[in-house]
Amino acid sequence: AGIENLPCELQRNFQLMRELDQRTEDKKAEIDSLAAAYIESVKNMLPEERVEHLKKIQSAYSKCKEYSDDKVQLAMQTYEMVDKHIRRLDADLARFEADLKDKLEGSDFETPGSRSLKKGRSQKDKRSSRGRGRRTSEEDTPKKKKLKGGSEFADTILSVHPSDVLDMPVDPNEPTYCLCHQVSYGEMIGCDNPDCPIEWFHFACVDLTTKPKGKWFCPRCVQERKKKK
């Protein structure tokens, strides 16, 4: 169902929850009445009548529990329904931002020194193409011609604050990256070490604001290279 149907679905679920709540209140009033009648006449009741009266009270309590369980289940379904639409909008927004930024920056063209994608990185990129941000690296993102004044405008309107993304519900199956072990968001850069165990890093986590020229190695790989020397 499209998001345009969400208000009607929410209204219907909230109405059902209200009806269940009213049934629960009515049943609680019935229990109070049965309990008062039992206390008032218990001394004059036969044992069989007492048992029968207590069974009525117990049955009313069981009904109350059923109504409450139904209300909780309906609330959970409503939450999941809203959460599903939020995730869909999140994915659509990421695609829209990527398309808009491509249009603002101009058409892509291959650089003479561009290399073929590494097999492992290509597979990881495919798996994470539904992530929350765009990734850039020297070897898998060609240079783009920038429109005058367009780059600053694009960076301003398309910037995604990490906290905004991390506050959203996260799919437990979505892969994580970077030194912070979080899902992808905003601009990301790939380490040019083919054996890098992480591969992708958020700009902010590695103190970058723009993509550097030439090859780029993450802090861990830089330390490893120094040790080998």
User: What is the rounded distance in angstroms from the CA atom of residue 198 to the CA atom of residue 196?
Assistant: 6
Alpha-carbon distance 7 to 161, whole Å? Answer: 28
Coarse DSSP helix, strand, coil percentages of the chain, rounded to the nearest 5 percent: 60, 10, 30
- 64 annotated as belonging to a binding site for a ligand: no
Distance CA 106, CA 130 (A): 23
- What three-state secondary structure class fits 195? coil
Q: Is 178 annotated as a binding residue?
A: yes
Contact indicator for 188, 138 with CB cutoff of 8 Å: no
8 annotated as belonging to a binding site for a ligand: no
Is 196 assigned a ligand-binding role in the annotation?
yes
Binding-site residues from annotation for Zn(2+): 178, 180, 191, 196, 202, 205, 218, 221
Which residues belong to the annotated binding site? 178, 180, 191, 196, 202, 205, 218, 221
